[in-house]
Amino acid sequence: MHVGVVTNPHYQGMESLLERLVEVARPLGMEFHLEQDRADSLPGRGSLEESLDELDWILTLGGDGTFLRGARIAGPRNLRVLGCNLGRLGFLTVVARDELEEALRVIASGDCDEEQRLALQVTVRQKDDDGPPDPMRAFYSVNDAVVHKSGTARLITLRLWADDEPIGQYSADGIIVATATGSTAYSLSAGGPILVPTMDGLIATPISPHTLAVRPVVLPATTKVTVEILGGHDDLALTVDGQPGTELSARDRVEVVRSEHPVRLFRLPGYSFFSVLRRKLRWGDVRPSDV
């Protein structure tokens, strides 16, 4: 079983953790492949980049950012992902460091389930351009796509479409188009609703809109959401899963549709989404004794 390992390069003690995991994984028939810049930690094994066609699944060691990076590798290749939290929050990850060794044994035994989550295909086009998308302006997203001002703090004017129907025109700091998985990320901070992550739905959440009448909208996953940029504005950008995507300009359209490649997650026994909400986001304002 070939396992691609995506790590947080800033985590102290990663070398010793990897050495211990290799000891545990070897008798389970697992061989690890690290990213190129860490491949020297496991000499004699091909790097993750060299072994993409051989991989059976992806393990991420870090926080949510590391998980998202691993999921963007795994999703388009139809690979499952297991996230181990080595950071502070780790909302998207499934296991803590002290649970990881047992998780590897469970996966090797096959005594675990799979959970699939919707992902996004994000494409930037010029207005009236319906030709093949530019590969440099097409992105796979697990959490969200955000159109925003990257320079001075000024409002931008956008028009939002659901398929061929205009939803409305917004003056705001930007707009977030999120999956159910991403509903607990930037969209939540901007006032969006929480969706159970296995739901097939999209959320369009304005960022600081300049009117009380504008609220987040939940749409079916089959909807093509288009964000049309109106007027002449400078320093506009598209951010995908918190990472730089591309610069934008007036008349650009950002089209967001359901990707044909869902995110496939290992779901280990005892996992509960609402338990994670209570413990990590203090949802419901529960007391520590209640969680």
Who contacts 97 (Cβ-Cβ below 8 Å, separation ≥6)? Answer: 17, 84, 85, 86
Query: Which residues make beta-bridge pairs with 229?
Result: 158
Distances from the Cα of 279 to the Cαs of 86, 137, 269, in angstroms? 16, 37, 18
Name the catalytic one among 37, 53, 56, 64.
64
Structure tokens at 80: 């499952």
For the chain, the maximum distance between any two Cα atoms, rounded to a whole number of angstroms, is 61
* Number of residues written out for the chain: 291
Q: Does the annotation mark 64 as catalytic?
A: yes
Q: How far apart are CA 3 and CA 20, in angstroms?
A: 15
Q: How far apart are CA 217 and CA 160, in angstroms?
A: 11
| Active site residue ranges | 64
